[in-house]
């Protein structure tokens, strides 16, 4: 049975169309179906709203600044075990760590810093539903 996940291709990545193109090829190769796709440009306050749960963390300001720094892509992806498969593919939140422990993951290959880590994947079915609703309010589950 197919499972849905939200995936984000963050602003630093979207600044490089060649890499975005490669990623869509990877989605095809790994049999992720792209169910919906939206290009987003956030104001700082929209970023602050989405990342509200992190409001007291030391990286909140820089995270919201980063996510409002340019256009990014939000996707609903689908396949059996989409949540785990996508998170396995993107790897650790921290690209520097991923370069040591999981060098073939996407954040290892493309991530810039702990904050500018190029990708997002939902961490559970519940989170996926909430995040999909945030970016695709009209989506029928």
Residue numbers belonging to the annotated binding site for ATP: 10, 59, 87, 93, 107, 117
Q: How far is the CB of 139 from ligand CMP (least distance, A)?
A: 20
Long-range CB pairs of 90-98 (<8 Å, 24+ gap) are 90/119, 90/120, 90/121, 93/117
Among 57, 56, 59, smallest CA distance to 116 is for 59
Q: Minimum CB separation from ligand CMP for residue 140, in Å?
A: 25
Cβ-proximal residues to 52 (8 Å cutoff; 6+ apart), any chain: none
Among 4, 6, 42, 120, the one annotated catalytic: 120
Interacting residue ranges for ligand CMP, rule: CB under 6 A: 59, 63, 93, 114-115, 117, 120
The least distance separating ligand CMP from the CB of residue 114, rounded to whole angstroms, comes to 4
Indicate the residue among 37 and 114 with the shorter CB distance to ligand CMP: 114
Task: Give catalytic status of residue 21 as yes or no.
Answer: no
Choose between 63 and 89: whose C-beta lies nearer to ligand CMP: 63
SS3 42: coil
Name 77's Cβ contacts closer than 8 Å, sequence gap at least 6: 4, 5, 6, 7, 27, 32, 33, 34, 35, 86
**How far is the C-alpha of 14 from the C-alpha of 16, rounded, in Å?**
5
Nearer to ligand CMP, 123 or 138 (CB): 123
Indicate which residues carry an active-site annotation: 120
């Amino acid at each position: 049975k197919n499972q849905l996940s939200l995936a984000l291709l963050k602003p630093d990545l979207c600044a490089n169309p060649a890499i975005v193109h490669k990623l869509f090829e990877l989605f095809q190769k790994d049999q992720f179906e792209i169910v919906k796709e939206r290009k987003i440009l956030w104001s700082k306050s929209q970023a602050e709203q989405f990342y509200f749960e992190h409001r007291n963390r030391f990286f909140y300001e820089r995270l919201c600044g980063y996510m409002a720094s340019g256009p990014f892509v939000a996707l609903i992806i689908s396949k059996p075990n989409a949540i785990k498969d996508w998170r396995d593919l993107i790897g650790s939140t921290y690209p520097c760590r991923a370069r040591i422990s999981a060098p073939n993951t996407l954040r290892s290959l493309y991530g810039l810093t702990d904050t500018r880590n190029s990708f997002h994947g939902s961490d559970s079915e519940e989170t996926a539903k909430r995040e999909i609703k945030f970016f695709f309010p009209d989506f029928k589950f």
